[in-house]
Structure 1
Amino acid sequence: MAMNNKFYATILLVVYAAVAIVNVAAELQRFEHLPTKPDGSLDILVIGDWGRRGLYNQSHVAFQMGKVGEKIDADFIISTGDNFYEDGLIDEEDPLFAESFTQVYTATSLQKQWYSVLGNHDYRGNVLAQLSPTLTHKDSKWLCLRSFIELDVALEESSATWKIVIGHHTIFSAGSHGNTQELVDQLLPILEAKNVDLYINGHDHCLQHISSQNRPRKKNL
């Protein structure tokens, strides 16, 4: 995914693992990636539903990610949740973290910042373990945050050219899980009203690109 624009993109990491929207006032934590390419573009890799100790084709996908990441010179990686199967992490010392993350995503091109949200499988385990800075000390590319924010306020205050919201559950999907009605009713109106360009999610274990006829598509995506 390349965003050919010299302006910042606001990327909101939002967790809807319980399929509910929580509006609690909090300051939005901001991350800025200054473009390093001559054309001012950002190139991003996105992956979700992956942590399986390298099994179930995880290692094969990681190998291909490394090749693509090198080709496009990826700026950072986004994980859309379900980071560790089947039941998240036990604690910060759980060997599953290294076995499913550090020891799998070893390509040089993937040693960039990872921004991760939580999925329903992660909530089966110790959520605080994934949020702990201890894991970042173990592997500096790991970052997982859970922020309960007033999403509409954060989007309204953002002056970014690109507005991207990251979650785990689908809004619409032709996959096995289908649509998530709570998000259709509660989240989609906010995204449309605040002119969000992309909602990126995991959960359905397939690749889909769903667009709206009500909004024109931006160029250079």
Structure 2
Amino acid sequence: MKKLIYITLILTFFACQPTKSPEKSVPQLSEDFQEIEDAYYVYTIGDWGRNGEDGQQELADMMGIAARKIEPEFIIATGDNFYPNGVASVQDPLWQSSYEEVYSAHSLNVDWYVVLGNHDYRGNPQAEVDYTNISRRWNMPSRYFHKDITTDDGASIRLVFIDTSPLNDEYYHEEKYKDKVIGQDTTAQLQWMDSLLAEKFDWKIVVGHHPLYSGGKRIDDQNFVRPHLEPRFEKFGVHAYLAGHEHDLQHIKPADKVTHHFISGAGSEVRPTGMLESSLFAESIQGFLSTAITKDSLYFEFVSYEGNRLYQFSQKK
């Protein structure tokens, strides 16, 4: 009898032990993603803030893996940072659930330079500016700003970060935007942009939320931002424009224009995309843009959340 009780106790003990769940497989970064010697690296994502959902966390994890292999000097965010309606204040819980706790890899603890998107305008845009004074890595000193860089190999770079929602003429007739954009001085912003772009740099890159061209969801829509920006890009020789808004990855280069257009808006939810006559690449998958800058070249790579190099392009000066 005692032997039976003893066996029963042993079986009960082992039956109550927690079962070990299978180890989660770690995605592998493609071996094609190789560092270019002496290049200055920047990563770009857009349209991302969804509490880690819709692939946001998976892409953030892959960015962390990529950044351990090739460290970016900083990360650019092309807007729509918090869905669906921006943030209410600098204490909004979305700061933690959609940003700090998602991009938590040590390798992503670098400076982030951020622009506003239309969804950010549905909330409190000024709170995203003010968060600059709270976060060590979040940088949005004003609604539009610039950053100048001189790389180790002597390349001079001017990055111009703009606020495109007030430049979108249709927003002045939409209830959810008109009261927010009407108070912005677009003339002052455009004059400021002209003064910056008129100066000589090896590379001039502009960052905004709304694309000037797209083969994505808005392929047939009238583009209200392009008339404000493209003449300036042409006049001052802007080499690349980085945007979001479309939830996909695209590279577009109109044959008769100077500027290359890159859409990196696949930070979380993605939508079907397509090609224009001037499209060089388009894909609907969560991913980010890696840009390597040297004195003579810009190298662009789209990398998926699975670690695959989707596309590579080299732009010579």
Contact 2:111 2:139 in 1 (8 A): yes
Runs ≥4 residues deviating over 3 A: 37-40, 214-220
Contact 1:44 1:75 in 2 (8 A): yes
Q: Which residue of 2 aligns with 1:168?
A: 209
Distance (Å, rounded) in 2 between the aligned partners of 1:213 and 1:181: 18
Q: Provide, for residues 28-82 of structure 1, a one-character-per-residue CA deviation record: whole Å limited to 9, x for no partner.
A: xxxxxxxxx9954211110000011111111001001111122221110000000
Measure how far apart 1:118 and its partner are: 0.2
Equivalent of 1:210, from 235, 247, 252? 252
Measure how far apart 1:212 and its partner are: 3.2
Distance (Å, rounded) in 2 between the aligned partners of 1:219 and 1:182: 31
Give yes or no for the alignment of 1:219 onto 2:297: yes
Q: Which residue of 1 aligns with 2:27?
A: none
Contact 2:44 2:77 in 1 (8 A): yes
TM-score, normalised relative to structure 2: 0.54
Measure how far apart 1:162 and its partner are: 0.6
Distance (Å, rounded) in 1 between the aligned partners of 2:254 and 2:70: 27
Distance (Å, rounded) in 2 between the aligned partners of 1:140 and 1:154: 27
Instruction: Pick the structure with more strand per residue.
Output: 2
TM-score, normalised relative to structure 1: 0.76
Equivalent of 2:223, from 181, 188, 205? 181
Distance (Å, rounded) in 1 between the aligned partners of 2:206 and 2:214: 16
Distance (Å, rounded) in 1 between the aligned partners of 2:36 and 2:88: 44
What secondary structure does 1:182 align onto? coil
Contact 2:47 2:245 in 1 (8 A): yes
Q: Which runs of 5+ in 1 are unaligned?
A: 1-36
Distance (Å, rounded) in 2 between the aligned partners of 1:106 and 1:42: 23
Q: Which residue of 1 aligns with 2:119?
A: 121
Equivalent of 1:81, from 72, 79, 82? 79
Q: 1:180 to 1:70 in 2, by over 3 A?
A: farther
Q: Which residue of 2 aligns with 1:47?
A: 45
Distance (Å, rounded) in 2 between the aligned partners of 1:106 and 1:95: 16
Higher relative contact order (CA 8 A, sep 6+): 1
Tell me the amino acid that sits aligned with residue 154 of structure 1.
L
Tell me how large the CA RMSD over aligned residues is. Answer: 2.1
What secondary structure does 1:209 align onto? strand
How is 1:4-153 mapped onto 2 (pairs within 5 angstroms)? 39-132=37-130, 135-144=131-140, 145-147=142-144, 148-150=189-191, 151-153=193-195
Q: 1:193 to 1:213 in 2, by over 3 A?
A: same
Q: 1:191 to 1:180 in 2, by over 3 A?
A: farther
Number of equivalenced pairs: 182
Distance (Å, rounded) in 2 between the aligned partners of 1:176 and 1:209: 15
How is 1:151-162 mapped onto 2 (pairs within 5 angstroms)? 151-157=193-199, 159-162=200-203
Larger Rg: 2
Measure how far apart 1:193 and its partner are: 1.2
Tell me the amino acid that sits aligned with residue 67 of structure 1.
I
Which segment drifts farther, 171-180 or 59-68? 171-180
Measure how far apart 1:170 and its partner are: 1.1
What secondary structure does 2:58 align onto? helix
Q: Provide, for residues 88-124 of structure 1, a one-character-per-residue CA deviation record: whole Å limited to 9, x for no partner.
A: 0011111111111111101121111000000000000
Tell me the amino acid that sits aligned with residue 172 of structure 1.
Y
Equivalent of 1:196, from 219, 238, 260? 238
